[in-house]
Amino acid sequence: MPSLTLNWAQLNEVLKLQELDTQTPDSGEVRVSLHFSGVNPSDTKSRAGRPGMSRPAFDLIVPHSDGSGVIDAVGAGVDPARVGERVWVWNAQWQRPFGTAASHVTLPAAMAVPLPADVSFETGAILGIPGLTAAEAVFGGGDIDGQTILIQGGAGTVGFLAVQLAKWGGARVIATCSPKDMARVKAAGAETALDYRAPDLAAQVIAANDGLQVSRVIEVELGKNIEVDAQVIAPNGTLAVYGSALDMTPTLPFMPLLFKAVTIDIILIYLLPKAQRDARIDQLHRALVAGALTCPVAQIYPLQGAASAHEAVESGGRHGAILLDCKSREDQ
């Protein structure tokens, strides 16, 4: 199978297209003929080398955790009727060497989720890390109907999905973004969009919520935004945090957080327990079927263009996901 493989070095040196044997599914596994592979910031960080790691976990790695395609083979113990099933996959390269930047991926059957009939393969390749992260950030604390949620970074891939899911869930949505993205974020479901750089941002958030603090904050940059978050969060509220890339050692204003009994819920979607994951999958599917969730794609690269795709993710400022077309080399 054509696959993108990597070792640990510079981008253009490590992502190399090469032929590997297509794996036969073992007991409890399925093999997916991939249509698209999702490229996420976590994939580029893994390629570049995470802090505290001196070498990759495996000598040969096919990157990327997210993808979509069609099951073309099953192992023992898996219903043969699953062959031909349209699916999306999650955690494909989490603690495993072979991910979705390939023509095929073989993985445990539960990690290949049936794709609703009217949902595209492009959307399916976004449901893993971005989709599940957004769903857990929005719904991880339970029912949000009637609550007010602040979504910091509402124009990003996860934030944009979270805006839509929170609106679908019945919440009043306040989102921060750059001025150029405000119309787009409001069209996605935010009642109010605010400039994330505003010096009086906390006051604007509270004013947008009729003078009240908010019950839940979905946070993409904890270190940079914690002072604002501490001001706007209501007593017994939750900060649902999925990122802090600009400040990986944040300093917390402990006393304000303490005297509001604030919960800081750090989300790592790779480790989501099965019951929670199943619930989030169900919510994503129901929102998609209801037409309440769209997953925009910024650009699709051919499989051999993976280095350019990684650069696009790393550069930021995009409106939508970056995908690889896993079928792009089948006839070459």
* Cα dist from 255 to 193, 260, 316, 322, whole Å: 29, 9, 34, 41
Side-chain half-sphere CA neighbours of 125 within 13 A: 32
Q: What is the mean pLDDT of residues 151-166?
A: 98
Which residue type occupies 197? R
- Cα separations (Å) of 81 from 30, 110, 195? 12, 15, 51
Q: How far apart are CA 76 and CA 28, in angstroms?
A: 6
- What does pTM read for this prediction? 0.93
Please state the rounded mean pLDDT for residues 259-263. 98
Beta bridge partners of 60: none
Please check whether residue 184 is in contact with residue 209, taking contact to mean a CB–CB distance below 8 angstroms: no
- Ordered domains of the chain (ranges, CATH): 2-126+295-325 (3.90.180.10), 131-270 (3.90.180.10)
194-248 pLDDT per residue, tens: 999 999 999 999 999 999 999 999 999 999 999 999 999 999 999 999 999 999 9
Burial of 273 per CB tally in 10 Å (0-12, 13-18, 19+): exposed
Confidence bin at 328 (pLDDT 50/70/90): confident
Distant-in-sequence, close-in-space partners of 259: CB < 8 Å, separation ≥ 6: none
Over 90: is that where the pLDDT of 98 sits?
yes
Q: Are 323 and 300 in contact (CB under 8 A)?
A: yes
Q: Which residue, among 123, 174, 121, has the nearest Cα to 152 in the 3D structure?
A: 174
What DSSP designation does 238 have? Answer: E
Helices (H), 290-327: 306-315
Asked if 268 and 129 touch (Cβ cutoff 8 Å), the reply is no
Residue 275 has pLDDT above 70, yes or no: yes
Asked if residue 16 lies in contact with residue 6, where contact means CB atoms within 8 angstroms, the answer is: yes
* C-beta separation of 64 from 38 below 8 A: yes
**Residue 298 pLDDT more than 60?**
yes
Higher-confidence position of 119 and 19? 119
What average pLDDT is seen over the chain?
A: 93
Neighbouring C-beta atoms of residue 312, cutoff 10 Å: 18
| 68 has a pLDDT exceeding 90 | yes
